[in-house]
Structure 1
Amino acid sequence: MSWLARHLTLWSRTLGPLRPLSAPALCARYRHESWNVARELASVGRARRVVTARLGDWGMTDLADTAELLVSELVTNALRHTRGPVRLNLRVRGFHLRCEVEDADSAGPARRIADAEAEGGRGIELVDMLAEHWGSTDTGTGKAMWFELPIPGPGHTDALAAHPPARPAL
């Protein structure tokens, strides 16, 4: 994209009409919600419902199915393979939804190849296929497994092309 095209795009967004307060949350630049996850398998279903409800509140129902599936995978992995507290975070920054599942184990995910008859072992592959970005970040108390989904909407493709997000190393 040329210098002139980038600046025209920037100025067209700057001079565009302001978003009214009644507009959907899809245009929000930053939102954050966080929940503790109880250490029981029933918490996986609760996490799915909370994510779907919050995305509905934020006007992002287009992302609900994918986010629900991927949150389910990360919460299940945290409950099955770690000990200690688990926390679910949803964040909207710019044109991306970021979902994080924090736990007290510092070990990152182990990718493995599941054979055709295995009942498990495909969670990280699903995250890799469906998320635009994903990874693991060290925290002061363990790690946060996260993924990002692009928020669909008019004009978002131009903004993402002009400012591509950095992909952190795993």
Structure 2
Amino acid sequence: MDPLQRPHLVLALRPVEGAVRAARDTVRAAMERWNRQDVNGDLELITSELVTNAIRHATAITLVVSLPDDTTAMVEVWDDNPEGPAAPMGDLHAEGGRGLLLVGALSRSWGWRSTAGGKVTWAQTATP
């Protein structure tokens, strides 16, 4: 199947308090509509972490979720900040800084790349 015909969604977000919840709710609804299960809520948590990082460091954010094949979900967060995500903090007692550790633990793979207007941070996870 042509990748452009695969199920996908695009959601523009503003860096405001409700952005993370809106992203998570949108991902949940899309997965249900596409008859794909996010069994443990991994995709929702990954989405939350990536959007949280973006709203802390950027002013323009776009969430893209797609199903590149029959067993994978891809979440991408595009933003206007050209700096890559910070390396995870080693202090396990810190109040924050472990979001990317969670993303790494819950996804098959993740990463980021520069774009003309900033960057995109992405993660892939398995879905039944």
Matching of residue 140 in structure 1 with residue 116 in structure 2 = yes
| Structure showing greater relative contact order (alpha-carbon pairs closer than 8 Å, 6 or more residues apart) | 2
Higher helix fraction (1 or 2): 1
5+ long unaligned stretches in structure 2:
none
Matching of residue 31 in structure 1 with residue 7 in structure 2 = yes
> Structure 1, residues 84-115: CA drift from partner, whole Å, max 9, x if none?
21000001111321100000011111113242
Q: TM-score normalised to the size of structure 1?
A: 0.68
Q: How does 1:90-169 map to 2 (within 5 A)?
A: 90-94=65-69, 95-152=71-128
Q: Please tell me the root mean square deviation across aligned C-alpha atoms, in Å.
A: 1.5
Fraction of identical pairs, as percent: 35
Return the alpha-carbon distance in structure 2 between the equivalents of residues 85 and 45 of structure 1. Answer: 17
Partner of 1:61: helix, strand, or coil? coil
Q: How does 1:54-65 map to 2 (within 5 A)?
A: 54-63=30-39, 65=41
**Which letter does structure 2 place at the counterpart of 1:66?**
D
User: Which runs of 4 or more aligned residues in structure 1 lie more than 2 Å from their structure 2 counterparts after TM superposition?
Assistant: 61-64
Higher strand fraction (1 or 2): 2
- Largest Rg, 1 or 2: 1
Shift in Å, 1:47: 0.8
> Structure 1, residues 61-92: CA drift from partner, whole Å, max 9, x if none?
2357111111000001000122x210000011
Matching of residue 88 in structure 1 with residue 63 in structure 2 = yes
